[in-house]
Chain A
């Protein structure tokens, strides 16, 4: 609670005490009309001024500033009007409830501001630099690229860099929402914003503070509220017309029926006053931006950065999702996916292959060596020969080994079972006899299949994969993941035209999202309705061009982002319907003389309060 809030709470308490006194004081027992009325007025004026004095002051001040239709003014007219109608108790109570409502409102807004701010509290305050043999804390902004910084356990890594000394565990939860710590050792890249958990790390900075991950993320999130959603703009526009309209109707209501139809002045003025109380659009004006702010904040907690409310809105309407393959749905690294030995064991086959490939640094050779459990003893191997476009021949344990493609087998007259599915295949022959083959392929990300089925469950109508890869590989991945369509062997330009074609095909009112990570994806990311970049550690260009950035490499976060977006939009719509519904209901009731000041106050501050509480739900993503 802020100082200001505490003070207003005390003031309200004192006001309530005076109000109770005024209610209980037995004026009628010693004074008769009209003197008793005057005494009552005086008694009620005390709590009224204590409680609502500031509102009166502000109203007067704002009138001089030319701001007539503000809340303060409306509350004053309404309560002074009630006094004029001798409804003393109501007048004070309306002001009291208005103030209590305002109090809760400011309390709730403050709380949500704080919780969102805490979530984004990843800004490092200092960097430890060794100056003249002494560790000194300096402003991270002043650290030059290439400086060695020291990060102690419990401290936040301030700047992106490479570990030059030490090993530790890094907590990346603040950035990615991922709770499993990442272990780093000498030579590993570290990202700013992560928290060092165990050992002391020396880090050579590779970027300036301003370009480091943490600064980029903060900038992104802080600027998110600048890009307003359609519903936010709607509310602003609506508020501009709503208040004058209601005040206008109130004026008509107060004057016309008594003048033309002989209504009772007091009745109709009271109805008009109720209109004034209901005329503030605050519930909407506060809760709608708060919902978006909360939605963006909640998503960022899970490592999903949304660059603006408008993108959150667009995300909720996504019905077509186009994926890039490599690095998005697949890991982008080669791995042995199949070992098919003939006449020997799997271990023996991979061992033979690893020995033959032992000197090679080709990605395929590296993946085979990774798949081989044991150490390769170089004394077993001799006569390694690389035959360009074919493969490798070597002598292993005295046996002549061939490891290569189909052409190599054919040229050496070896009978083999050809493999025609997705991936790259290496055939192995020992002493002129076929011993089996090994298939190497880019592996599909662990959660990719799950991600696609989650998206399907969310009602995504079309999932398409675009890739520059071979047809067979693309088909295999598409089939395994259950994608609706795929387009293979595309050049970067083809991807743009393909996305444009899909944009033209999609149903009106729905959006197309493109998910990618590579540098060549930037044009497509910009072209799509919503561009989603995978892995903030991907290319800077892709992150720059994207509207939504997934800090983790998990495709399943796409579904999470859409869920968060839809939840936010749902809450926004709930609030709009709820607030307008209640206000309209009270207005109608008031017009027919069935609503009191009490309902009116509820329709104003009560509704605001409930809408704020509802908006706070946006913070919870998952």
Chain B
């Protein structure tokens, strides 16, 4: 029982590490939102386990690692995760392309919230570069979904 629950924890930690792992600068612009995708998966598969609160804590860790003002990423992660867990029954029944498009929308929302908050705090100019990770997230979603579902079923995470 405990080992199964800890897989959720491990996958979220992996997501945080994948967010900060170094990548070559040209590819860095397309870094998918690993943490958001993993949180969205768990919010859809096990909405009673992973929820807005977990998203807030994970976002806080990301804030410390990124050096942004505390609370920026927890705010930005909590909103899409809320939308996902409020509509998880509908989203589970979507086909994979439909789900991927929803992930694109949620990821765009996440990036826009981060941009708005950082804009309020330090004042940056918007550039479309900030939105490129959304596309990478959309492309990654089916594979990540498949991988995490395989793990969840094999380890019987409930």
Pairing of A with B: no
Task: Write the residues of chain B forming the contact surface with A, with a CB cutoff of 8 angstroms.
Answer: none
Chain A residues close to B by CB (< 8 Å): none
